[in-house]
Chain A
Amino acid sequence: MRRSSLPPLYFVIPAFLVAAGMLLPVAYLLLRTADAGWETVWRLVWRERTARVLLNTLALAAAVSGASVVLGVPLAWLTTRTDLPGRRFWAVVSVLPLAIPSLVGAFTFVSAWAQGGLVHQLLRQAAGVARMPDLYGFPGAWLVLTLLSYPYVVLPVRGALLGMDPGQEEAARSLGHGTWSVLWRVTLPQLRPAIASGALLVALYTLSDFSAVSLLQFESFTQAIYVQYQATFNRSYAAVLSLILVALTLGLLALEAVARGRGRYYKVSAGTARRQAAVPLGRWKWPAVAFCAFMGLVSVAVPVAVNGYWLVRGLVAGMGVQLDWQALVNSVYASFLAALACVLCALPVAILAVRWPGPVSALIERAGYVGYALPGIVVALSLVFFGVNFARALYQTLALLVFAYVVLFLPQALGAIRASLLQVSPNVENAARSLGLSPWRVAWTVTLPLVRPGLASGAALVFLTAMKELPATLLLSPLGFRTLTTRIWSAVSEAYYIQAAAPALLLILASAISVALLLAGERRSA
C-alpha cells in the first residue's frame, strides 16, 4: 500500500482544482458571515433553540441512516448473491426510489397515508376505520426519508458484493462455516467501506433535505436556514447557520472514516476470481420476495399510484395530458452531463485518497463532501454570487448548472469509485509499473477498467439525483430552461395536482429505464 514516490502532478493538480471548486460555497458563506458581525453570529449560534434543532436533525440523520442500512444491505445481497426469483426486476426496484424527488415522495406519502388520505378513504369504506395514526413529526420524516434514500446504501453495497473475490467466502465454507456464518463473519465485514459510504450519503441527504421535512412538519436545521431567507431575506444569518451545518458535516466525515476501518479489501493471492455462486434461499425464498415486494410497494408503487390517481382524474375530467418532451430532454441531458462531470472530477480525488493516503489527500477528499450536506439553495446562491461576479460569461448557462451539480453531488461518485478502487490490489498496478508503464498509462489501461463497476454506479447515483434537483436548477439554469422536476414543483406548489402527475410519472419512468440499462451494464462488467 505504501509508496515511496509522491503522487504524480497529473493527479494532484486536478484533485486540488476540484477541491477548490468544492469549497466555493464555504468561501461564500464565510464572506456573508463576515457581513453579519460577530455579535449576531454568537447570538444565532448560542441560542438554545439552535442547539435543540441541531440535535433533532442529527437524531433524524442517525435514524434514517440506520434504517437505510438495515433495509439496504439485505436488498443488495438478495438481488446480487441469491437465487431470488425475479432478481433483476427487484434490483431495479430497489434502486428506483432514488428517482423520486423528496417533494413528490413527501407529497404522495401525505396524500396516501394521512388522515382522510387515499388509503384512509379505502379503509373507511371497507372497514370503517375512523382515524389514521398521526404521521407528522419525527416518525413521518424518518419513514419518508428512509424510503427515499435507502438506495444510497443499496448501490454501493451491490458494487462491493459484485466486486468481491468469492475466494475468502469459499475458504470459510470449506472450513465448515454455514451460509449465515459466512455472511456474518466474512461477507459483511468486507462490506464495511461500502456500507459506511452509503450511510454517510444518507445522513448528509437527510441533513440537506428541505421539502420532505417541511411537508412532514419536522423542524430540521435546514428549515431554520430557509426561514432566514424567507422571512427576513437575510443572507448573512442564513450563512451563519449554514456554516454550522458544514461543521456538522466534517464531524460526520470523521465518524465515517472510523466506521470505514483500515482493512484491506482486495485480494493478494494470484489467480482469477471465480464467478460467484448464487446462494440458494430455500424456504426463505418467498419471505425474501415478500420483503422486496413490500419495499417496492411502499417506496415506489405508492408515489406512482398517487400520481396515477391524479392523472386518471384529469383524464376523466377531460383535461388533456400534456407530455412536456422538452423538459424530459433537458432533464436527461443536464443530468447526463452532471454524471459525466462528477465521475471525471471524482477520479483523481479518489485515486489520490486511496493510493496515496495521508492528511492532504484526506483533506481534499473531505472538501468534496461539503456541498452535498448544504441545502441546495445555499450552494445555488453561492454560485450566483461567484458566477455573476467572476464568470459572467458562464452565468446562467448549462456549464454553470452542471458545475453546480458537481458541487452538490460529487460525493456520490466519489464514494462509489473509492469503494471500487479499494477492491483493486495495488499489486496489479505495481506489476504494470514494473513492466515499464507510466503511472498515467497504468491509470488508464489497468485501474480504470478494473473500477468500472464503481464508475457506473457513481455515474448512476449522480444522474438520478441530478434528475430531481430543484433549487440550483431554478436559480442557475439558462433562462427558459425547464426540467421535469421544475415542472412538478411549480404545479404542486400551486395545487395543480393533475398537471403535476404526468411529469412526475415521466420522471420516474425515465429514471427506471436508466437504472435498468445501468444494471444490465453492471452485470457485463462484473
Chain B
Amino acid sequence: MLRTRSARSARTAALLASLTLVALLGLQGLAFAQEIVVYSGRSEALVAPVFERFTQATGIRVVARYGDTAQLAAAILEEGQRSPADLFFAQDAGALGALAAAGRLEVLPSHVLDRVDPRLRSPEGLWVGITARARVIAYNTELVPAEALPQSIWDLLDPRWRGQIGWAPTNGSFQAFVTALRVLEGDDRAEEWLRGMLANQPRSYANNRAIVDAVGRGEILLGLVNHYYLFQLLAQYGEDFPARNHHTRGDAGAIVNVAGVGILDSSRNKEAALRLIEFLLSPETQQYFTNENAEYPVLLGSQVQTNPLLVPLDEIATPEIDLSDLADLEGTLDLLQRTGVL
C-alpha cells in the first residue's frame, strides 16, 4: 500500500515536472518569436546601443554574442548549418571573405547593396561594409617633426627609422595591407618591402591598440595601424596625448578597409536580419558610428557628416583597389612566413 502510494506520487511529480518544462519551453518560444542572434566581433560598448535602438524601432530583439572576429568566424564554420547565428558583424573584411568562400553567406538584395560605396562591399553581394577605416601611420608628435614624415611606405625602409616602427603582423588589418601591396605592386616588390622592413628591425605588437599606445609613450616613433584607435586613446588620455595620424598617398599604406556584416545561409530569420542591416545602414546609425568611434560612413552621397576630426575619405589618396581584390589571404600568409615576418 505504502509502496504504491509513493510510486503514484513519484509519477505525479514527474508529470508535473514535465508539464512545467513544456510550459517553460513554450513560453520561451513565444517570448523569442521576434528575435535575431548576432555574432559580433565589434565591441558591446559600441554596438549594443545601436541594437537597442533597433529593437525600439522594430520590436525585434537582438541577442548578441560578442567575441574576437576570427574566433567567431571559426565558430560559425564549426557550427555549420546548425549555427544559432543569423548575422555576423565582423571587424574586418577578411573574416567575411572567409565565410563567403565557405559558401556560408546569403546574397543581399540590391536595394541594400546599392546604398554602399561599391569598393566597400562584396562584388557578389555576400557582405556589405558598415563602417570604413583607413590605414595610416601613427606618429609621435613630440619626437617626429612633420617634414620628416614618410611620404610613402617605401620611405619606411630608411635606416633612420631603425627599431622605431611598430607593426602587428598577426593582425587581420596588417595582412590586408600586405595583400593590397601584393595586388598593387606585385609579389616581388611586396617581398622586397617586407625584407627591407625586417632589416629595419620593426617591433611586432599584438594589435593596433598596443601600437598607438606605444607611439604615444615614445617607445616607438611610427606605427602602421588603422586610423580610429588614435581617437579612442585621445578620448582616454586627453588631447595632449602626443600621437597623431599621417596618411601616405596613393599606395597600399592608404587603403580603406571595412567592418561589415553578412547574413548566414543557415539563418531562419533572414527577413529580420536584413532589417537590422538596413538599420545599420540608415543615415542616423551611420552618423552615430562616425561620431562615436571616429570611423568613416560607407553610404554613397552626402547624407552623413563625417566626424570632423577625420581627414575626409575623398581627400585621402586611396589606391585604386577593391576589397574583393584582397581575398588571397593564404598567399599573403605564405609570403609573411617565407620572409620570416611571421
Contact = CB atoms under 8 A, between A and B. Distances in A.
A binds B: yes
Interface of A: 49, 110-111, 114-117, 120, 136, 214-215, 217, 219, 223, 226-227, 229-235, 310, 313, 377, 380-381, 384-385, 388-389, 392, 395-396, 471, 474-475, 479-480, 482, 486, 490-499
A495 B233 contact: yes
A110 B210 contact: yes
21 contacts: A49-B337, A114-B217, A115-B218, A116-B218, A215-B210, A217-B204, A230-B171, A231-B94, A231-B172, A233-B77, A233-B95, A384-B78, A388-B79, A388-B83, A479-B37, A479-B84, A480-B63, A492-B209, A493-B209, A495-B209, A497-B236
A48 to B, nearest CB: 10
A235 B70 CA distance: 11
Interface string B36-74: 010000011110000000000000000111111011111
A215 B206 contact: yes
Given A385-B78, A388-B80, A498-B236, A217 B170 contact: no
Interface in B145-197: 170-172, 175
B297 interface: no
Nearest to B229: A495
Contacts of A475: 65, 67, 71-72, 75
Interface residues on B, range: 35 or more
A229 B74 contact: yes
A39 to B, nearest CB: 15
Given A480-B63, A491-B45, A496-B43, 15 more contacts: A49-B337, A110-B210, A115-B218, A116-B218, A214-B206, A217-B205, A230-B170, A231-B172, A231-B175, A232-B333, A233-B98, A234-B330, A388-B82, A475-B71, A495-B229
Contacts of A395: 82, 84
Contacts of A214: 170, 206
Interface string B225-256: 00001001100100000000000000000000
Nearest to A233: B98
A115 B220 CA distance: 9
A494 B209 contact: yes
Contact of B217 (A116, A471, A480): A116
A235 B84 contact: no
Nearest to B218: A116
B72, B78, B95, B172 — which one has the most chain A CB atoms within 10 A of its CB?
A: B78
A232 B330 contact: yes
B264 interface: no
B141 interface: no
Contacts of B232: 494-496
Given A214-B170, A231-B333, A474-B71, A495 B78 contact: no
Q: Which 4 A-B pairs have the closest CB atoms?
A: A116-B217, A233-B98, A214-B206, A474-B67
B219 A490 contact: no
B170 A223 contact: yes
Interface in B299-342: 329-330, 332-333, 336-337, 340, 342
Contacts of B115: none
A115 B209 CA distance: 16
A132 B44 CA distance: 36
B300 to A, nearest CB: 28
A117 B63 CA distance: 39
A383 B83 CA distance: 13
B270 interface: no
Given A217-B204, A233-B70, A233-B98, A493 B77 contact: no
B71 A471 contact: yes
